[in-house]
Amino acid sequence: MTPLDRTALAPSSHDAERLARGIRAGERTVLSRAITLIESKRADHRSSAATLMQALLKDTGKAVRVGITGAPGVGKSTLIDALGSMLSAKCRKIAVLAVDPSSRRTGGSILADKTRMARLGNDPNAFIRPSPSSGTLGGVAAKTRETMLLCEAAGYDVVLVETVGVGQSEIAVADMTDFFLVLAMPGAGDELQALKKGVVELADMIAVNKADGDNVARAKLAASQFSAALHILSSRSPHWSSPVVTCSALTGDGIEVLWSHILDHRQRLTVSGELAARRGEQQVKWMWTMLEERLFAPLRSDRALKAALPRIEADVAAGRLAPASAVEKIAEMLAA
């Protein structure tokens, strides 16, 4: 934890209204402190975070929320750097929430996003926040949704959520954003891999990256294969047919076209009312997810229960204790 983070968790920083004013004013240091507060697992911090989120609720919801996924090495960070820099030149404010795999030793992020997004890392219109996945489903940080709302309240009108691209992270990111972008590489077998994972069904657009130099022909071939796959799958929205584009994060080719599709998608879903309905459904899912986390918190924090669980699991595995009986025993300990 950095000195700034320690300051963020000091009691003097728990004045929710003061934090809210600083966030609305676009103060980056205050925004960082607020994010650290909502990421805290302490009960008093959790209460302060809930008060802060309620105070800022009316200031959220105006940003374009884009989820970006793809296999490791596909160029997600490089594309975000190129896209964000282009948007910054158009006077947009960009927040990048990059979910890193957690270090097993420290629990912190290990990929150092700012070093992989050289231009955005020094751009005054950009805010990059790496968040450790901390073992949450699919590598999506538990507090990414709240962080996204804080960034919106701070005036960032484009929020890009980058996932590690493994496990079930695609589903989690698709459930918290408006537009879900899947990146693929030419000639790397991504067509079949994506079909197996079901990513194509979630995609609002597929972009074949690294379409430059000798890769251009292979990128076009991969794009045609993805297009064929999309034709036999149902679209996420009746108002949108997912396009397939080629682009190069290295040269910038195709980045403008990619963004124009995102804006077109937003316009169509806004007019049809689907965007508001989708966000409402996401909020309800978010509520239930947070409730489940709260209910399971004692399993991680109660010392007696944590000590008893390995023995209970061993009894179940050995056939000495029925799973139903084990659940009853754990429930009794939780209620005690």
Q: Are 109 and 253 contained in the same domain?
A: yes
What is the total count of domains within the chain? Answer: 3
Q: Is the domain of 47 the same as that of 148?
A: no
In a domain? residue 86: yes
> Do residues 75 and 164 share a domain?
yes
| Adjacency order of strands within the sheet including 244-246 | 126-132, 94-100, 158-162, 64-70, 179-184, 205-208, 244-246
- Asked if residue 231 and residue 82 are part of one domain, the reply reads yes
Within a domain: 6: yes
Closest CA relative to residue 210, chosen from 190, 193, 235: 190
Q: Please check whether residues 180 and 327 belong to one and the same domain.
A: no
User: β-strands 64-70, 158-162: how paired?
Assistant: parallel
Asked if 122 and 146 sit in the same domain, the reply is yes
Indicate whether 91 belongs to any domain.
Answer: yes
Q: What's the CATH number where 16 sits?
A: 1.20.5.170
Q: How far apart are CA 139 and CA 134, in angstroms?
A: 7
pLDDT of residue 35: 92
**Residues 205 and 251 grouped into a single domain:** yes
Q: Are residues 112 and 255 in the same domain?
A: yes
Domain with 324, as residue range(s), is 282-335
- CATH number, domain with residue 307: 1.10.287
Amino acid at site 294: R
Predicted pLDDT at 2: 45
* Euclidean distance between CA atoms 150 and 19, whole angstroms: 11
Model pLDDT, residue 101: 53
What's the pLDDT at 237? 87
Q: Dihedral angle at the C-alpha atoms of 5, 48, 163, 63, nearest 10 degrees?
A: -110
Residues 152-181 as b/e (b if ≥16 CB within 10 A, e otherwise) read bbbbbebbbbbbbbeeebbbbbbbbbbbbb
Q: End of a domain among 228, 247, 272?
A: 272
pLDDT digits (tens, 9 = 90+) for 128-158: 988 655 555 444 566 889 999 999 999 999 9
Query: For residue 115, what pLDDT is reported?
Result: 59
> Per this entry, what is the length of the chain?
336
Tokens of 177: 């954003």
pLDDT along the chain (336 residues), means of 10: 44 70 95 91 84 94 94 89 96 88 43 68 91 54 86 97 71 89 78 60 91 93 86 83 94 96 97 96 89 80 87 95 93 83
Record the tokens describing residue 51, joined without a space: 């008060």
How much is the pLDDT for 192? 53
Phi, psi of 66 (to 5 degrees): -125, 125
Task: Give the predicted TM-score (pTM) of the model.
Answer: 0.84
Torsion of CA 38, 146, 149, 235, to 10 degrees: 170
Same domain, 88 and 231: yes
> What pairing do the DSSP bridges indicate for beta strands 94-100 and 126-132?
parallel
Domain boundary among 19, 39, 58: 58
Burial of 219 (C-beta count, 10 Å sphere; 0-12/13-18/19+): buried
- CA 267, CA 265: separation in Å to the nearest integer? 5
Q: Quick one: pLDDT at residue 118? A: 82
User: Is 277 inside a domain boundary?
Assistant: no
What CATH number does the domain containing 187 carry? 3.40.50.300
Q: Judge if 152 and 299 occupy the same domain.
A: no
* Domain closes at, from 13, 39, 58: 58
Same domain, 298 and 256: no
Q: Are residues 235 and 319 in the same domain?
A: no
